[in-house]
Amino acid sequence: MATSSTTLLNLPTEILRQITSYIDYPSHLALSFTCRELHARVEDPNSRPRRTISTGNDRPYTIQDLLAIELWPEFAPSLGGDRVSRQMPSKNDFFACRYCCKILSAINFTNRHLNRAYWKRDRDEEETRRRDRSAWRICIPCGAAGRMHPRDKSYPFGGMSGGYGFTCVGCEGFVLERTGFEGEKVNFTCDTCRESNSEKKEPFST
Ligand SMILES: [Zn+2]
Ligand SMILES: [Zn+2]
């Protein structure tokens, strides 16, 4: 018996394009990731009309789109099925930075921004609105630019995969703290800034 079935793959390209114009950015992106053929035939999600977001950058997605995408199982392996994980995320968990609007590995966030990252997500709307940190999570470089990180103090980052680091008092860059290079010992200054400081102090040394 001959059977005919319509699947996404045998729809004409124009129809596929019409479909993607009705769905939101996360669904469009997910569709384009489904398989190679759809990836080739579905319009590039990043060619969607630009929307101005709070930072003034024009992008085809909003921070809300990214907050939905960060809960995809591929991006949230620590989340688990019950969606109430209290576990600290690892480098395989990805989160949206509210400021640069990128999805980045947990290694790019301070533990303050990762604490209870998945707790209560999608569960209790009221609680989420009041306490959910997902909407204000900011990556380390953006936080450094906005002077959000502790000064003169080391701080943990990267959750289960991270360690300690500090913000250089000179260039405000993030410095990974390694054994024998604790922030206190170097006055919270990075190698580069320390070297240029000592050059200034000893102009006649050979
Ligand atoms: Zn950022
Ligand atoms: Zn520096």
The pLDDT value given to residue 125:
61
Q: How far is the CA of 19 from the centre of ligand 1 (A)?
A: 31
Q: Are 152 and 188 in contact (CB under 8 A)?
A: yes
Q: How far is the CA of 140 from the centre of ligand 1 (A)?
A: 7
Q: Rounded to whole angstroms, how far apart are CA atoms 33 and 28?
A: 9
DSSP state string for 115-182: TTTTTTTTT-HHHHHHH--GGG---HHHHHHTT-SPSSS-EEESGGG-EEEEE-TTT--EEE--TT--
Q: Note the pLDDT tens digit of each residue in 176-191.
A: 987 766 788 888 999 9
Q: Among the bound ligands, name the one nearest to the CA of residue 109.
A: 1
The pLDDT value given to residue 92:
94
Q: Note the pLDDT tens digit of each residue in 55-106.
A: 556 788 888 888 889 888 889 988 876 666 677 899 999 999 988 888 999 9
Long-range Cβ contact pairs of 166-173 (< 8 A, separation 24 or more): 168/193, 169/193, 170/197, 172/144, 172/145, 172/147, 173/144
Q: How far is the CA of 10 from the centre of ligand 1 (A)?
A: 40
Q: How far is the CA of 156 from the centre of ligand 2 (A)?
A: 19
Q: How far is the CA of 87 from the centre of ligand 1 (A)?
A: 23
Q: How far is the CA of 68 from the centre of ligand 2 (A)?
A: 36
Q: Among the bound ligands, name the one nearest to the CA of residue 192.
A: 2
The pLDDT value given to residue 159:
94
Q: Rounded to whole angstroms, how far apart are CA atoms 164 and 139?
A: 15
